[in-house]
Structure 1
Amino acid sequence: MKDIKAPETNNDNTVNESGYWRSFKELYKDPSFDKALKNEFSPEALQKPEVDKMSAVTRRRFLALMGASAAFAAAGCNNYQDKGFIYPYNNKPEEVILGLPNFYASTCSGCSSACGILVKTREGRPIKVDGNPDHPVNKGKICTKGQASVMNLYSPERLKEPAMNKAQTNWNDANKKITETLVSASGSGKEIAVVTHTIVSPTLKKLLDEFKVTYPTAKVYSYEVFNDSARINAWQKSYGKRSIPVLQLDKAKIIVALESDFLGNEKNMLEFTRMFVQNRDVMNANEFNRLYSVEGAVTATGMSADYRLRLRTDAIEELVMCLLNEVIGKKKISAFAMDSRVTSVFSSNDLKQFAVKHKLDEKVIDHLVNDLVKNQGAAIVYGGDKLPESTHIAINLLNDALGNTKLYSADSENTELMPLSTSAEMEALVSAMASGRVGAVIHFDTNPVYNLSPDYNYAEALKKSACKHNFGGTGKRNNGNFELCTAHSPCTGIME
């Protein structure tokens, strides 16, 4: 670093003759600096300090205490929360080697994606969850929800024994009482309602089918707080089937996300993220893709986009109509341009007027349209789960007009083992419970008392049902189900 010359001063303070200084106090001849400079090597300064007046905690003792604290903290760490007794094996299983973990392949049921996982176990106890690299969907990746699923297994709030009327009981008495109630409800012709989340396991679906055969009046209701039923219904109305093919996002050069957080928390998030980043690697020879995000709230997808447009959710459908008019009506790209029944739907929508109305960047809008037209068959417009069914139908038409359906896989598709119950079906269930036509209600690892909207009045209707059974693997004692249900039974999780 270069020496700094003292500036010229017109006041009474003078600088030293050499013109160089080490501090402002030296520059302006501060009296305290001069005093400290004179006492730097004085006899008083060279005297030994008085030890009695110093702190009793020396640096060495402080470091020793810190080291001991860290050692005690590390000694208190434990892999197991129950801190039970450790017994040796009398007959050790052949596949178990003490100190070495075993890995088991399984499927995560935390959401409808059903990703493949590897469960790390020690002496038969799961301790960690990772993605299965051989699984075709996630290929070794796993979300935070899947990784944290092991905590449900050791949750201290988890039900461990059956209970009747909030009092613990044994399995024999619980099974006998519940079976008698189910037989009585089925014999009297009353409905047995089984409330579940999305069914992703074929084995579980088969079990529910056998349950309905045993009890003919049983009916299964499935719900999710957030779901993609609007997209599935739109696909069925557009193409006549409910199974949506897997989107090959790694082959897309242009991606337009409309109120979609496919990189954040939507369905197939892991698979889409894996495919998307393949064309974002600077060390890869593949051509970079381009991401447009149109959204009303801040999402992980929007923050990763090359172009982000802020737009209200209720205006997304109008934007799609404007794009349809621009692509089909004006540029005459698709055969739909010759069908007046189609063009009459969006002919009144003008993209430029829409951009001015909602204060969107016209240059970005022009880039968007040009990219979609230039990359026909290699672009995709993807709508989010929160968009209504009519918007998804318009998006399907836009992708079909641009030939973007080529990006849908012909070999794999998202299957639906059991459709989610509609709002009308859930309202019919509540009405049947309120009128006494439901003899038994079984909550299968669900908490509809908390999840469902208060508009359903589900809790009030549940009180009028004779038998209310909470059958949950991760059920807790202090929730709405436990307070309102008469019977409680824990069930096994995905790692048991």
Structure 2
Amino acid sequence: MDSNKKYWKGLEELNKTPEFVEKNKHEFAEPIPIEEVLESGGLLGKTPRRDFLKALGFGVGAVTLAACEKVPVHKSIPYLIKPEEVTPGVANYYSSSYDGHAILVKTREGRPIKVEGNPNDLLSNGGLSAQAQASVLDLYDVSRVKNPMQDGADSDWDHIDAFIKNELTAIKAAGKKIRIVSSTINSPSTLAVIADFVAQYPTAKHINYDAVSYTGIIQANQNSFGKAVVPHYNFDKADVIVSFGADFLGTWISPTEFIGQYVKNRNNKSLQSKKMSRHIQFETGMSNTGSNADVRIPILLSEEGIALVNLYNAISGTTLAGSKKLDNAAAENAITLAGKELLAAKGKALVVAGSNDVAVQTLVNAINSLLGSYGATIDLDNASNQYAGNDAEFVEFVSDMDKGDVGAVFFLGANPAYDYHSGDAIKAALKKVRLRVSFSDYTDETASLCNIIAPNHYYLESWGDSSAIEGYYTVVQPTINPVYNTRQAEQSLLVWSDNAVKDYYTYVRNNWDKNLLAKGGLSGQKGWETLLQTGFVKAAAKPAGSYTFSHELTAVAQTILDHSNELAAANGDKTKVQLQIFQTIALRDGSRANNPWLQELPDPVSKVTWGNFAAMSPRYAKSLELEQGDIITITANNYSIDLPVLIQPGQPAGTIAVAVGYGRTKAGLVGDKVGENAYPFHTFRNGTFQTTAVATIKATGEQSELAQTQTHHSYEGRNSIIRETTFTEYKKNPYAASGHFDDHKTYSLWDEYERPTYNWVMAIDLNACTGCGACVVACSAENNVPVVGKDEVRRRREMHWIRIDRYYSFNEKGSLITKESEINQLSDGDLDNVSVVYQPMLCQHCDHAPCETVCPVLATVHSSEGLNHMAYNRCIGTRYCANNCPYKVRRFNWFNYWNDSRFDNYLNNEHTQLVLNPDVVTRFRGVMEKCSMCIQRIQAGKLKAKIEKRSVKDGDIKVACQQTCPANAIVFGNVNDPNSEVAKALKSERTYYVLEELNVQPGIGYQVKVRNRTELEA
């Protein structure tokens, strides 16, 4: 390993900008102005402790009221008559389902406080996404609709039912069309309810509409193989993966599932067997998947289609009509080499594309057919049910409304007034519809245009089921009675269609008894109870068939090349740019924009929070005389928005990338007016919604500082933070990159102590970590970490106990630049081609912890089990410990985030407080906090073992970040147990310790990052 390898977190650090240098002269964020101190009432703040329940827009009054009327969860402790299932101080867990994944919901005293992955989930084996982890918070959102509404005023269910039934009768008699517009529904019971409703009203039709569409894949499979499905991809069965803009580790189709598959061929176990898959990514904007690739090739949007055609030519040995070489020599060479790699891995190869264009996906099908991927890495017979949107059907529906043919429309999980590319067309057409009903539990952009809002239960209040993958069925069960006066949408449809079964629980139960329990070998009441415990059933998988593509590709290739030429029209014109629309991992399609945990989660690549931006390359920004934060006007499709510029290494010049999911106007207290809406930049072309366009840009002369976290925690120029190697070098010498050969004597100023029973440590595999951020949200949910908001993030005051550091390094013709002198000679164009490494960083629980020696009040001390503890009652806020921490992982409470009225829009309100974990104290102003290794989980695990009169077993205790990680990149345990997973991981030849040379003896060992890139470097 070359210890001179240069890594940098952001361009300001690389270029040593005056602002960066000045900020890093100060150990801490900007001090609090005295007027802020006085305004907040001094050190402890002016807000009474009990008033902290009134703060963010999430609350106790309504929850208690609902509980008083309907459920026992409101009862104070001690109970006069204790509910059988509730033991004060002891958590209950309920199996349920989120996004098709089997989950466990942790409740305390009747209130859900944490979502965890079900370890037996067949899709992710217990891993969860950041969105799933954050979902529990939405239950307590005071922005939710609290009662059914008619014409903007509160109503009651009896009145709503009578009104809608009368309207439907009249509309049915008039022969007008009735439409149920929903986001993709894969619940067997919900689909059955809709089918019953359609039977009652024959002019009714169900339309699936997804804001982020996969119609291109569905239609391409229909055209190619007669199967209108999204395939089930098996990345774990692929030795070579080539992706064209598909962010399958971030946002594409089923990323939580795909992460687990992907790392199976790249983690400790695989590397020790000297096996590793190869991943090549061609893309424009730097995605989470691209940043994890072994080789990432930056290409223009106009080059993507040409590159795909050329890959087909390289694999098939033919030349499609209209083919041409790329001007990008590096990309053209990579295509040739990728073709050879794929052919060599025939039967274990996989090509995917992120485009929603039917022609592009058809060509991908042809390539995968040549590679023998069907029946191996691609399964069309056990297909995914996660996306079923039909773009053309929805466009036809809008036209029908505009013509006055639609008499009633019901919106279920769909918000087209916000996320359709022509929201104005939706608004105008809806005015011509007699009955407009939204099931949204928010008065969102579409619901506000409806004359009826029949608010749906939240999923944690609901009965139901899901089938994300054909043959895999998960159950949804309520973990709390309804917080507000809502009703399940399915039950409303049952009532309005005069169904014989009026109660949706009974309907679900009947459906499982008749159709689904038998698929898992279950039946009757006992089978139902077993289902509620396990959370799912799995039918026997169908044999995955092989499919041969045999269609003419001339017209397909021409369609692809024509669109490439349209995008290329922007080349050479400084006022025009190739525009790419994408999703962020945190907000995805924007439906969860009112969740503060997600808004404050830094994007893995950009590290930006609280808003979107226009990402462009350093070279392109320089040519336009733009700097980071400069606001530009972007215009495309007769629509304009103003966004700040983000200088993004790894993005080709002449392109910009903008995220959807922002710019909400009726999301709620948290999400309104955060960023700008990029959905109108979508185009409807060739029967699908597509995410590329030619745009014009113009500087406004204004500036806006991004809330970006990437350089907030500096290591003061220290090296040896990140260590990486190539797979070839690893096979030659597995120990080289980790520095295990550096045997040197160490000296200690500390007394050493025995830890005979427990010595808690952690191992983090950098080759498995994809930077997805799920661990950050899981930690916040488990440990009551506050949200501070955009302005405080700008001041470097974010409170996350675990952060994901993103490091860049340079590529030069596939090699790594290591010397400072070489960096200084680089042109701006070299910044278009960089590598990225992610590193989770949290308190290292050092055995020789430098924080402990400087604390004047012994607020931070070492335990007999190897952990660094914080006694918050003792802390007086000197911040000496943070100053002395080389890892910069301690967080100072500048304000009483949980009870200061200035944070009302984040987590400080009467309902949100109900999500707090009662086993973890909320910290107050003026104290330091940090990762505790989930000490409450450790204690709970030891207590359980004691009650069961046994010793703690490996795996009994999982910290929150470990439990949620879809990649199993984080392992925690007792290193005194030589057979423990963590002990084995730390014995890996790839293990190293960050800043090991300081001899602080950290308790977290990292495994070296390995990239399988040698063949493409040759």
TM range (shorter): 0.7 to 0.9
Question: Which residue is equivalent to 2:368?
Answer: 399
Is this contact kept in 1: 2:210–2:387, CA < 8 A? no
1:105 aligns with 2:73: no
Name the SS of the counterpart of 1:149 in structure 2.
Answer: helix
The match for 2:342 is: 372
3-state SS, counterpart of residue 330 of structure 2: coil
1:258–1:458 CA distance, 2 compared to 1 (3 A): same
Q: Alignment partner of 1:308: what SS?
A: strand
Aligned amino acid, residue 315 of structure 1: E
Shift of 1:366: 4.4
2:153 counterpart of 1:183: no
**1:324 to partner: Cα distance:** 2.3
Contact 2:179/2:205 (CA < 8 Å) preserved in 1?
yes
Once the two structures are TM-superposed, the CA of residue 460 in structure 1 deviates from its matched residue by: 0.5
Deviation per CA, 1:271-310, whole angstroms, max 9, x where unpaired?
Answer: 1111111222245434011110000111011111111111
Aligned to 1:148, the other structure's residue is in SS state: helix
SS in 2 for 1:264: coil
CA drift of 1:158 comes to 0.4
1:164 and 2:150 matched: yes
Change in Cα spacing, 1:428 to 1:244, as seen in structure 2 (3 Å) is: closer
Change (3 A) 1:363 1:165: closer
Aligned with 2:280: secondary structure? Answer: strand
Paired residue for 1:422? 391
Q: How does 1:443-458 map to 2 (within 5 A)?
A: 443-454=411-422, 457-458=425-426
1:318: how far off? 2.0
Q: Identify the range of structure 1 (362-371 vs 248-257) with the bigger mean alpha-carbon deviation.
A: 362-371
Rg larger in 1 or in 2? Answer: 1
Q: Secondary structure at the match of 2:241?
A: strand
Quote the offset at 1:207 in angstroms.
Answer: 0.9
Give the C-alpha shift of residue 213 in structure 1.
Answer: 1.4
More displaced stretch, 271-280 vs 240-249 = 240-249
Q: Distance in 2 between matches of 1:264 and 1:290?
A: 18
Compared with structure 1, are the counterparts of its residues 436 and 272 closer, same or farther at alpha carbon in structure 2 (3 Å cutoff)? same
| Structure 2 Cα separation of the partners of residues 268 and 447 of structure 1 | 21
Q: CA deviation at 1:429?
A: 2.1
Residue pair 1:195, 1:446 contacting (<8 A) in 2 also: yes
Superposed displacement of residue 197, structure 1: 0.7
After superposing the two structures, state which structure 1 stretch, 94-103 or 134-143, moved more: 94-103
Against the structure 1 CA distance between its residues 371 and 127, is the aligned structure 2 distance closer, same or farther, given a 3 Å change threshold?
same
* 1:434/1:387 CA distance change after superposition, 3 Å: closer
CA distance in structure 2 between the aligned counterparts of 1:161 and 1:81, rounded to whole angstroms: 16
Structure 1 position 78, deviation (Å): 10
95-104 vs 288-297, greater mean Cα deviation: 95-104
Whether 1:271 aligns to 2:257 is yes
1:81 paired with 2:67, answer: no
Q: CA deviation at 1:430?
A: 2.4
Task: Give the direction of change, closer, same or farther, for the CA distance of 1:179–1:126 in structure 2 (3 Å limit).
Answer: same
For residues 379 and 419 of structure 2, what CA distance do their matches in structure 1 show?
36
Post-superposition offset of 1:444: 1.8
Distance 1:446 1:91, change over 3 A: farther
1:494 and 2:466 aligned: no
The one-letter code sitting in structure 2 at the alignment partner of 1:444 is L
**8 Å contact kept, 1:295–1:311:** yes
Percent of residue pairs bearing the same amino acid type = 29
Structure 1: tracts of 5 or more residues without a match: 1-64, 330-342
Equivalent residue number for residue 240 of structure 1? 226
Aligned amino acid, residue 300 of structure 2: R
Q: How far apart are the structure 2 equivalents of 1:401 and 1:98?
A: 61
How far apart are residue 202 of structure 1 and its match? 0.9
Q: Aligned partners of 1:418, 1:76: CA distance in 2, in Å?
A: 41
Distance 1:405 1:264 in 2: 24
Q: Would the alpha carbon gap of residues 128 and 396 (structure 1) be closer, same or farther in structure 2, given more than 3 Å must change?
A: same
Amino acid aligned to 2:108: R
Q: 1:403 to 1:127 in 2, by over 3 A?
A: same
Q: What is the Cα deviation at residue 77 of structure 1?
A: 7.7
Partner residue of 1:312?
300
- 1:211-255 deviation per Cα after TM superposition (whole angstroms, max 9, x unaligned): 111222212222111121111211222222123542221121111
Is the 1:138–1:274 contact (alpha carbons within 8 Å) kept by the matching residues of 2? yes
Alignment partner of 1:442: what SS? Answer: strand
Deviation at 1:439, TM superposition (A): 1.7
Residue 465 in 1 paired to residue 455 in 2?
A: no
Letter in 2 for 1:483: S
Q: Distance in 1 between matches of 2:163 and 2:53?
A: 43
- Tell me how many residue pairs correspond in the alignment: 404
CA distance 1:404–1:431, shift in 2 (3 Å):
closer
Give distance in 2, aligned partners of 1:494 and 1:73: 32
Point out the more displaced range, 235-244 or 273-282. 235-244
Q: 1:118-166: per-residue Cα shift (whole Å, max 9, x none)?
A: 1111233221112111110111111111112222211111011111111
2:733 corresponding residue in structure 1: none
What is the CA–CA distance in structure 2 between the aligned matches of 1:391 and 1:226, rounded to whole Å?
17
Which structure carries more helix by proportion? 1
1:58-69 alignment, distance < 5 Å: none
Please list every run of 5 or more consecutive structure 2 residues that lacks an aligned counterpart in the other structure: 1-41, 65-73, 462-1018
Distance 1:436 1:390, change over 3 A: closer
How do 1:48-447 residues align onto structure 2 when only pairs under 5 Å count? 81-82=59-60, 86-88=74-76, 89=79, 91-109=81-99, 114-282=100-268, 284=270, 285-286=272-273, 287-329=275-317, 343=318, 346=320, 349=323, 353-354=325-326, 357-360=327-330, 364-384=334-354, 386-408=355-377, 413-416=382-385, 419-423=388-392, 425-447=393-415
Going from structure 1 to structure 2, the CA distance change for 1:458 and 1:78 (only over 3 Å counts) comes to: closer
Q: With structure 1 as the length reference, what TM-score do the two structures score?
A: 0.74
SS at match of 2:212: coil
Task: Report deviation, 1:446.
Answer: 2.3
Q: Distance in 2 between matches of 1:72 and 1:464?
A: 52
* C-alpha deviation, 1:412, in angstroms: 6.6
- Structure 1 residues 73 and 447, CA, compared in 2 at 3 Å: closer, same or farther? same
TM-score when scaled to structure 2? 0.37
1:1-16 matches, cutoff 5 A: none
Contact 2:282 2:297 in 1 (8 A): yes
Task: State the alpha-carbon separation in 2 of the partners of residues 70 and 120 from structure 1.
Answer: 34
Contact 1:307 1:364 in 2 (8 A): no
Aligned AA (1:157): S
How far apart in 2 are the matches of 1:243 and 1:207? Answer: 22
Contact 1:259 1:387 in 2 (8 A): no
Q: Cα offset for 1:404?
A: 2.8
Q: Distance in 2 between matches of 1:417 and 1:252?
A: 22
Shift of 1:455: 7.0
**Quick check: 277-286 or 144-153, which moved more?**
277-286
Q: Deviations over 1:404-456 (max 9, x none)?
A: 33523669722449942332x32332233233322222222322222212277
SS in 2 for 1:231: helix
Q: Is the 8 A contact 2:233 2:379 kept in 1?
A: no
Structure 1's 158 and 402: CA in aligned 2 closer, same or farther, altered over 3 A?
A: same
Q: For 2:396, give the aligned amino acid.
A: A
Contact 2:249 2:288 in 1 (8 A): yes
